[in-house]
Structure 1
Amino acid sequence: MEMFVLAIIVFIAAHIGSPSSGISRFPEKLTKELYVNLITDAFETRWKAFGASTENLRTMHNVAIPGLILTKPTIVARGGLEVLGVPVVHLRDDRSVEIKFLAFLEKVRALVDMPRPSSQEEIRRFLGMTTYYSRFLPNLSSITYPLRQLLRKDSKFYWSAACESAFIRLKNELSSDRTLIPYDPSMPLLLACDASPVGISGVLSHMINGVEKPIAFASRSLTPSEQNYSQLDREALAIVFAVDHFFNYLYGRHFKLCTDNKPLTRIFHQHSKIPPMTSSRLLRYATFLSAFDYEVVFKDGESNVNADCFSRAPVNQRSSSGDISINDEVQDVCMNSINQISTEILNSDSIRKETVADVELMDIKAKIETDPELALEYTLDNGILFKGQRVIVPKILRNAVLQELHRTHIGISKMKQLARRYVYWKGIDNDIEHLSRSCEPCAKMKSSPPKAQVHPWDEPQNNWDRIHIDYAGPFQGFWFLIVMDSKSRWAEIKICRTAPTSTSTIEMLSEIFSVHGYPYVMVSDNASIFVSDQFQTFCSAKGIFQKLIAPGHPATNGLAERNVYTLKSRLKAMSEDPAPMQSKIREILFRYRMTPLANNSTPAENYLGRKVRCELDALRPLKHSKNLVYDFHARQLSVGDRVQARYFQRNSNLWKFGSVVRKLGRLHYLIRLDEQPNGVVKRHINQLRRTDVNRKSVTFNDNVEAPDNHPPTTPQGRLYEDVEFYPTHHQPQRNPDNGDNSSLQNQPVVSNQPLQPELRRSGRVRSAPNYLRDYVTS
Structure 2
Amino acid sequence: MQGEHAIAYASRSLTETEKRYAQIEKEMLSIVFSATKFHRYIYGKEVKVYNDHKPLEQLFKKSLLSAPMRIRKMMIRLQWYDITVIYRKGKEMQVSDTLSRAFLQTENQHSEFDRQEDMINMLSVSIDKYAEIKSPTQTELSALHKVIIDGWPDTRSETPVEVRPYWDSRDQLSVLDGIIYKGLRLVIPPSLRGNMLELIHKSHLGMSKCKQRAREVMYWPCMNSDIDSMVINCTQCNEYQKQQPAEPLKPTPTPDLPYSFVGCDLFDFESKKYLLVVDYYSKYIDVAPLQFENAKAIIEALKPIFACHGIPVKLRSDNGPQFSSNEFKKFCASIGIESETASSKNSRKEPLGLS
Normalising by the residue count of structure 1, what TM-score does the alignment of the two structures yield?
Answer: 0.32
For residue 217 of structure 1, the aligned residue among 10, 33, 38 is: 10
Q: Is the 8 A contact 2:65 2:72 kept in 1?
A: no
* Structure 1 residues 482 and 447: alpha-carbon distance in aligned structure 2, compared to 1, 3 A threshold: farther
Query: Are positions 1:274 and 2:62 aligned together?
Result: yes
**Which residue of the partner structure matches residue 271 of structure 2?**
none
Mapped partners of 1:223, 1:453: distance in 2 = 70
Query: Are positions 1:293 and 2:90 aligned together?
Result: no
* Structure of higher RCO (CA pairs closer than 8 Å, 6+ residues apart): 2
What secondary structure does 1:449 align onto?
A: coil
Deviation at 1:235, TM superposition (A): 0.6
Query: Are positions 1:351 and 2:133 aligned together?
Result: yes
Deviation at 1:265, TM superposition (A): 4.3
Mapped partners of 1:217, 1:537: distance in 2 = 91
* Structure 1 residues 403 and 305: alpha-carbon distance in aligned structure 2, compared to 1, 3 A threshold: same
* Structure 1 residues 405 and 332: alpha-carbon distance in aligned structure 2, compared to 1, 3 A threshold: farther
**Which residue of the partner structure matches residue 238 of structure 1?**
30
Gaps of 5+ in 1: 1-189, 191-206, 455-466, 471-479, 484-492, 525-529, 531-535, 562-778
Deviation at 1:248, TM superposition (A): 5.2
Q: Is the 8 A contact 1:393 1:425 kept in 2?
A: yes
**Which residue of the partner structure matches residue 515 of structure 1?**
311
Higher radius of gyration, 1 or 2: 1
For residue 328 of structure 1, the aligned residue among 115, 118, 136 is: 115
Mapped partners of 1:409, 1:512: distance in 2 = 59
Mapped partners of 2:7, 2:323: distance in 1 = 104
1:171-570 to 2 correspondences below 5 Å = 190=1, 207=2, 211-214=5-8, 217-224=10-17, 226-247=18-39, 250-253=42-45, 255-265=47-57, 267-268=59-60, 273-274=61-62, 279-281=67-69, 282-294=71-83, 296=85, 298=88, 300-310=92-102, 314-317=105-108, 324-325=112-113, 327-328=114-115, 332-333=118-119, 336-337=122-123, 340-342=124-126, 347-358=129-140, 361-368=141-148, 369-371=150-152, 374=167, 375-449=170-244, 469=264, 481-482=278-279, 493=281, 495-496=283-284, 500=285, 502-503=287-288, 510-512=304-306, 515=311, 522-523=317-318, 549-550=344-345, 554-557=347-350
What secondary structure does 1:221 align onto?
A: coil
What secondary structure does 2:106 align onto?
A: coil
Q: What amino acid maps onto 1:217 in structure 2?
A: A
* Structure 1 residues 365 and 538: alpha-carbon distance in aligned structure 2, compared to 1, 3 A threshold: closer
What secondary structure does 1:257 align onto?
A: strand
Q: What amino acid maps onto 1:502 in structure 2?
A: V
Deviation at 1:442, TM superposition (A): 2.3
Mapped partners of 2:132, 2:44: distance in 1 = 47
Q: What amino acid maps onto 2:202 in structure 1?
A: R
* Structure 1 residues 481 and 255: alpha-carbon distance in aligned structure 2, compared to 1, 3 A threshold: closer
Give CA-to-partner distance per residue, 1:428-475, whole Å, 9 cap, x none: 112112222222332332232356899xxxxxxxxxxxx8558xxxxx
What secondary structure does 1:305 align onto?
A: helix
Q: Which has the higher helix share?
A: 2
Structure 1 vs Structure 2 CA RMSD: 4.6
Deviation at 1:245, TM superposition (A): 4.3
**Which residue of the partner structure matches residue 602 of structure 1?**
none
Q: What amino acid maps onto 1:328 in structure 2?
A: R
Q: Is the 8 A contact 2:15 2:110 kept in 1?
A: no
What secondary structure does 2:6 align onto?
A: strand
Q: Is the 8 A contact 1:351 1:384 kept in 2?
A: yes
* Structure 1 residues 448 and 318: alpha-carbon distance in aligned structure 2, compared to 1, 3 A threshold: closer
Q: Is the 8 A contact 2:12 2:105 kept in 1?
A: yes
Q: Is the 8 A contact 1:218 1:245 kept in 2?
A: no
Deviation at 1:355, TM superposition (A): 1.2
* Structure 1 residues 385 and 335: alpha-carbon distance in aligned structure 2, compared to 1, 3 A threshold: farther
* Structure 1 residues 308 and 294: alpha-carbon distance in aligned structure 2, compared to 1, 3 A threshold: same
What secondary structure does 1:232 align onto?
A: helix
Q: What amino acid maps onto 1:556 in structure 2?
A: K
Mapped partners of 2:29, 2:127: distance in 1 = 33
Q: Is the 8 A contact 2:182 2:219 kept in 1?
A: yes
Deviation at 1:398, TM superposition (A): 0.8
What secondary structure does 2:198 align onto?
A: helix
Deviation at 1:212, TM superposition (A): 2.6
Mapped partners of 1:295, 1:495: distance in 2 = 77
Q: What amino acid maps onto 2:130 in structure 1?
A: S
Mapped partners of 1:343, 1:509: distance in 2 = 85
Q: How many residues align?
A: 290
What secondary structure does 1:522 align onto?
A: strand
What secondary structure does 2:100 align onto?
A: helix
Deviation at 1:397, TM superposition (A): 0.7
Deviation at 1:560, TM superposition (A): 5.8
* Structure 1 residues 438 and 495: alpha-carbon distance in aligned structure 2, compared to 1, 3 A threshold: closer
* Structure 1 residues 539 and 367: alpha-carbon distance in aligned structure 2, compared to 1, 3 A threshold: closer
What secondary structure does 1:304 align onto?
A: helix
Give CA-to-partner distance per residue, 1:731-752, whole Å, 9 cap, x none: xxxxxxxxxxxxxxxxxxxxxx
**Which residue of the partner structure matches residue 72 of structure 1?**
none
Mapped partners of 2:42, 2:314: distance in 1 = 90
Deviation at 1:393, TM superposition (A): 0.6
**Which residue of the partner structure matches residue 253 of structure 2?**
none
Mapped partners of 2:44, 2:322: distance in 1 = 92
Q: Is the 8 A contact 1:334 1:389 kept in 2?
A: no
Deviation at 1:413, TM superposition (A): 0.5
Q: Is the 8 A contact 1:351 1:394 kept in 2?
A: yes
Mapped partners of 1:236, 1:403: distance in 2 = 38
What secondary structure does 1:502 align onto?
A: strand
Deviation at 1:382, TM superposition (A): 1.6
Q: Is the 8 A contact 1:255 1:295 kept in 2?
A: yes
What secondary structure does 1:391 align onto?
A: strand
Deviation at 1:515, TM superposition (A): 3.0
Q: Is the 8 A contact 1:356 1:362 kept in 2?
A: yes
Normalising by the residue count of structure 2, what TM-score does the alignment of the two structures yield?
Answer: 0.63
What secondary structure does 1:429 align onto?
A: helix
What secondary structure does 1:309 align onto?
A: coil
Mapped partners of 2:304, 2:41: distance in 1 = 99
Deviation at 1:503, TM superposition (A): 3.6
Deviation at 1:502, TM superposition (A): 3.1
